Amino acid sequence: MLTALSIANIVLIERLDLDFEAGLGVLTGETGAGKSILLDALGLALGMRADTGLVRQGADKAQVTASFAAPAPGTPLAALLADNDISLEAGEPLLIRRTLKADGGSRAFLNDQPCSAALLREVGGHLVEIHGQHDDRGLLAPAGHRALLDAYARADTGAVAAAHGAWRAAEERLAAARAALDEAERDREWLEHCVAELQALAPQPGEEAELAEARASMQKGERIAGDLATILEAFDGSEGGPALLRGAARRLDRLAGDHPLLAEALANLDRAIIDADEAEAKLNEAARAMEYDPERLEAAETRLFELRALARKHGVQPDELPQLAGDLAARLDAIEGGSAGLAKLEAAVRDTAAAYTHAATALSNQRTKAAARLDAAVAGELAPLKLDAARFQTLVEPLPAERWGPDGMDRVEFLISTNPGAPFAPLARIASGGELSRFILALKVALAEEGGADTIIFDEIDRGVGGAVASAIGERLARLAGAGKQLLAVTHSPQVAAKGAAHFVIAKSSEGTVTRTGVRALDDAGRREEIARMLSGTEVTEEARAQAERLLEVVG
């Protein structure tokens, strides 16, 4: 619901601040006073095209700020704001601000967070509906008729959308499997060769590093084999170092008790023998590890080069060859088992298509029944609006299979016939603006409790009518406002104005060469005077004032 509107430097409006409440609010004023400016300003805030002609002459920029009651949690608008990271504090309003520079360029903000004009339009569509004689959106746009009928029918379209998604996903999986199978079939000979080559080589994870390390060790062993042999000779036999140390230790052991230094020498000698044994063991171990065997070295090099050559051929690292072998073998297996896999996927497509058709058919039946109820509800509103000869029809027709979608299998459009025997035609093709306005009102009243924006604006929807028809329009606007909606009606009809719970008058004033448009809320006395002016024209008579009093008493 719109709670406040602040306008600065829009055409003739220099500065304007208005507060709004729920119910029916009417806006009146003399022709040319600037009622359309007010709607243009609100439209700018709701994301309409930023026309620099809206900037007041002499001003650098224009600005409009609209305040709305925060959307309830779980509503589509709340989800839209959350998806775009627009934060809302509990109990705080939703603020929309739009600035427009005189030299071009505009900026939009939602709760002081910059946003695109496209997002502003999407948010605005949830907040406000604007209906006028030449409106090509809202109820006149066939693209929205299906959603309006679904809301009227209280239809759960989620099941159809989910079934359609499952069907399309199954079709995509089948198409991908067929494409993969076709590609694999084309590559069968190449796959067979590659798989055989990889299986023959049988690469193992980490094998390349192990072979490279072994090859390097053997190559080092070849270079130092002579030196190692000479060193090890010093450890071998009775004349080797360790044997001589042990002999000396045995002799010293017999003498160690004769002097403390001899005992210390014996301990040092024992440690030397232990170290010499450890050194000999490590030398032998190193010699075995680095043992040079020409045949073994050649085999390691051959295996290493084969692994690296095959990895280069396939454009992978040697350690990736085992995975590649498995992948290529799986592709080859897929050719053999492809028919069985396709059969399962084809069955899944048939099953999901059947589930979608079942859900969409049920939705179509629900729409058809709701269309009949809606037609009857609109027909009941036409006679009081002096559209007795008109007929309304909600067209629900099947779409071709290639156009079935998440919204079902139907095209929905609201059609009317204004004269007996005349064919039904789309709402937007009605020649008479007055008839179109009244049709929109009748349809909106019939759809009043079926969702939509909380704020609805009717722009001169009573143009060209008067008397009983104007009274009927006013009654329906009031009824629509009583259904939990906020209505703002720009009107020239005193009968409509008298139905308002709040009344704003739009007036133009001049000071020298400066012209301004202002808007003010009227009290009870002001309302009587304004309605009297609407009744009498340029000169307000006592008779007009009395008639205005009677109109307001009837409403009261």
Quote the CA–CA distance of 357 and 185 in Å, as a whole number.
34
Quote the CA–CA distance of 457 and 36 in Å, as a whole number.
12
Handedness of CA 165, 170, 171, 173 (dihedral sign): positive
Quote the CA–CA distance of 93 and 79 in Å, as a whole number.
16
Quote the CA–CA distance of 151 and 394 in Å, as a whole number.
14
What phi-psi label fits residue 68: left (phi over 0), alpha (psi between -120 and 50 degrees) or beta?
Answer: beta
C-beta contacts of 222-225 below 8 A and 24+ residues apart: 222/292, 222/297, 224/290, 225/290, 225/292
Residue type, 15: R
Residuewise pLDDT in 10s, the chain (556 residues): 999 999 999 988 889 999 999 899 999 988 776 778 888 899 899 988 888 889 998 899 999 999 999 888 888 888 999 899 888 777 789 999 999 999 888 999 999 899 998 999 999 988 998 876 545 455 777 888 898 899 889 898 999 999 999 999 999 999 998 888 787 777 778 888 999 999 999 999 888 888 888 888 777 766 676 667 677 777 876 677 777 788 777 888 888 777 888 888 888 888 888 888 888 788 788 777 666 667 777 888 888 899 999 999 999 999 999 999 988 888 788 776 666 778 889 999 999 999 999 999 999 999 999 999 999 999 998 888 888 888 999 999 999 999 999 999 999 999 988 888 888 988 777 645 667 777 878 888 888 655 567 888 888 877 777 788 888 888 888 888 887 788 998 888 899 999 999 999 998 888 877 888 888 999 999 999 999 998 887 688 888 889 889 888 866 5
CB 130 within 8 A of CB 41: no
Q: What is the DSSP string of 227-242?
A: HHHHHHHTTSSTTSHH
Cα 550 to Cα 144, 495, 547, distances in angstroms: 41, 11, 5
Cα 217 to Cα 213, 284, 301, 302, distances in angstroms: 6, 15, 12, 16
CB 494 within 8 A of CB 527: no
SS3 195: helix
CB 441 within 8 A of CB 458: yes
Quote the CA–CA distance of 452 and 485 in Å, as a whole number.
9
Cα 75 to Cα 72, 82, 156, distances in angstroms: 6, 11, 15
CATH 3.40.50.300 fits 1-129+452-467+482-521, yes or no: yes
CB 345 within 8 A of CB 181: no
CB 228 within 8 A of CB 287: yes
CB 485 within 8 A of CB 504: no
Quote the CA–CA distance of 465 and 356 in Å, as a whole number.
48
**Cα 473 to chain center, whole Å?**
40
Quote the CA–CA distance of 390 and 262 in Å, as a whole number.
133
CB 65 within 8 A of CB 6: yes
**Cα 396 to chain center, whole Å?**
29
Say what angle helices 294-314 and 321-382 make with each other, to 10 degrees.
20
Count other C-beta atoms under 10 Å from residue 158's C-beta.
10
Every domain range in the chain assigned CATH 3.40.50.300: 1-129+452-467+482-521
Tokens coding 9: 């430097």
Handedness of CA 476, 482, 485, 488 (dihedral sign): positive
**Cα 275 to chain center, whole Å?**
75
Q: Where are the alpha helices (DSSP H) in 412-464?
A: 433-446
Half-sphere exposure of 467 (CA within 13 A, CB side): 3
Whole-angstrom distance between the N-terminal and C-terminal Cα of the chain?
24
Query: Which stretches does DSSP call E strand in 399-475?
Result: 410-417, 425-426, 455-459
SS3 133: coil
> Given the structure tokens 């029809």, which residue do they identify?
393
Cα 267 to Cα 255, 261, 273, 279, 363, distances in angstroms: 13, 10, 10, 18, 101
Quote the CA–CA distance of 328 and 320 in Å, as a whole number.
12
SS3 50: coil
Residue type, 121: R
Which of 102, 104, 98 is CA-nearest to residue 120?
A: 98
Count other C-beta atoms under 10 Å from residue 523's C-beta.
9
Q: What pLDDT sits at residue 133? A: 52
Quote the CA–CA distance of 436 and 465 in Å, as a whole number.
12
Which of 500, 508, 519, 164 is CA-nearest to residue 360?
A: 164
